[in-house]
């Protein structure tokens, strides 16, 4: 079997199996495993339900997909809330500074362990419950985090000291602290009202109450609690999405790669690419010693001239062929430009004495004899051989 046929057979087999695997994997209903609490995700762990429910209350909602440092201050006559739902990437010192500036005119909702660095600026941190979940007293909800007071007056963050330096923030003094959700071991949600009359802060240790799997259930009070944080309180709610990886600018190649890892069709494409690379790698190996290169000499001009003479002889242009042979020889031996094309016979006669060898004189006599009109067909080949001998004798 030829190598191309084998390659085609292998690719066809792998393609059939890959497509079959994709169809079998995609035949059932797939559930998203993305755990980001983003309002752009409709899976069980996403927060798109909370976004839609907030809009259904008549509140203006918007997703913030640019950097937090570009946040604009809210209008003074509009009650605005910035919701940060368990960000997937940590907030930098510049992000926290921009959020503090926003709080001068608006309120904050800070949720989840991903916001831990920001919560420390308000005197609390999230303590994760790794081995077991805790039941909330006020509503039927299980959480995996608790709010613990840090006792710090100034919070320092050196997690990005190598590029942005150490950032510090002063913990404000609070006029009122209102617990919202509690468990047997401590706080889960709390409302903080600073004494300087700036915007209030709501801290929630776990994002479970804001996820779709909780909002869409009707047998608990988690949905009413989450919506109660915004209902009749705000005219506008901003949902921070940049730190969930949904920035306004992105790479199409990154999205394609991410899709290929979570889609059966993407896995099939990766398998086909892997098989193709293996086939290329196997075909790239050379077995045995390297074959030596064969040097082929180029044909001499006289060989081409002989071929031309043969062609002219076949066309019964014997005299013209002999004249072409002599003129070609003259062009190679004459250093100056020959203007006339009718004096090649005289030039041939003038070459007497240009060669001293017997072969050269015999070749010259042969050419002079063959230059007379009416020569037979065999004279063309004789003229070509004589021209070559004369050329060699004069050049040497």
pLDDT digits (tens, 9 = 90+) for 93-135: 889 999 999 998 999 999 999 999 999 999 999 999 988 899 9
283 vs 60 pLDDT, higher one? 60
User: What residues does each domain of the chain span?
Assistant: 48-249, 301-395
pLDDT for res 361: 84
Say how far apart CA 237 and CA 81 lie, in whole Å: 5
Contact 133, 108 (CB under 8 A): no
pLDDT for res 7: 60
Least confident of 193-202, 304-313, 336-345, 374-383: 336-345
Say how far apart CA 171 and CA 167 lie, in whole Å: 13
pLDDT for res 276: 82
pLDDT tens by residue, 150-177: 999 998 876 665 566 678 899 999 999 9
Largest CA distance in the chain: 129
Q: Class of the 48-249 domain?
A: alpha beta
pLDDT tens by residue, 320-357: 778 888 888 888 777 655 555 557 778 888 777 777 78
Cβ-in-10-Å burial (0-12, 13-18, 19+) of 152 comes to: middle
pLDDT tens by residue, 24-64: 555 555 667 888 999 999 989 999 999 999 999 999 999 99
Contact 80, 234 (CB under 8 A): yes
Say how far apart CA 30 and CA 286 lie, in whole Å: 46
Residue 390: pLDDT band with limits 50, 70, 90: confident
Backbone angles phi, psi at 209, to 5 degrees: -70, -15
- Which of helix, strand or coil describes residue 144? coil
For all residues of the chain together, what is the average pLDDT?
82
Least confident of 202-216, 243-257, 339-353: 339-353
């Amino acid at each position: 079997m030829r190598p191309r046929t084998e390659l085609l057979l292998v690719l066809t087999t792998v393609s059939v199996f890959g497509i079959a695997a994709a169809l079998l994997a995609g035949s059932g209903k797939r559930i998203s495993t993305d755990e980001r609490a983003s309002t752009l995700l409709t899976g069980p762990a996403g927060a798109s339900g909370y976004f839609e429910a907030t809009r259904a209350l008549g509140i203006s909602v918007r997703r913030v997909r640019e950097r937090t440092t570009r946040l604009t201050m809210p209008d003074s006559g509009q009650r605005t809330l910035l919701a940060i739902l368990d960000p997937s990437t940590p907030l930098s010192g510049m992000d926290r500074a921009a959020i503090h500036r926003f709080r001068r005119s608006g309120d904050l909702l800070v949720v989840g362990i991903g916001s831990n660095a920001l919560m420390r600026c308000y005197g609390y941190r999230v303590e994760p419950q790794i081995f077991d979940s805790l039941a909330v007293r006020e509503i039927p909800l299980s959480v995996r985090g608790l709010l613990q007071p840090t006792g710090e007056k100034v919070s320092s963050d050196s997690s990005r000291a190598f590029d942005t330096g150490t950032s510090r923030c002063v913990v404000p003094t609070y006029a009122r602290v209102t617990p919202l959700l509690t468990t047997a071991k401590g706080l889960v949600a709390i409302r903080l009202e600073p004494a300087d009359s700036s915007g209030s802060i709501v801290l929630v240790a776990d994002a479970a109450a804001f996820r779709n799997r909780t909002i869409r259930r009707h047998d608990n009070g988690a949905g009413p609690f989450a919506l109660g944080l915004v209902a009749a309180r705000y005219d506008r709610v901003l949902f921070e999405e940049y730190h969930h990886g949904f920035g306004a600018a992105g790479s199409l190649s990154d999205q394609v790669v991410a899709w290929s890892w979570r889609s059966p069709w993407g896995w099939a494409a990766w398998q086909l690419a892997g098989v193709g690379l293996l086939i290329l790698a196997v075909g790239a190996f050379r077995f045995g010693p390297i074959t030596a290169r064969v040097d082929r000499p180029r044909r001499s001009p006289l060989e081409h001239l002989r071929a031309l003479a043969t062609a002219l002889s076949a066309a019964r242009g014997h005299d013209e062929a002999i004249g072409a042979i002599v003129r070609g020889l003259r062009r190679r031996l004459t250093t100056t430009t020959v203007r006339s094309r009718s004096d090649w016979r005289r030039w041939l006669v003038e070459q007497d004495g240009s060669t001293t060898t017997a072969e050269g004189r015999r070749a010259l006599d042969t050419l002079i004899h063959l230059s007379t009109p009416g020569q037979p067909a065999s004279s063309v080949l004789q003229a070509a051989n004589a021209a070559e001998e004369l050329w060699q004798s004069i050049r040497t």
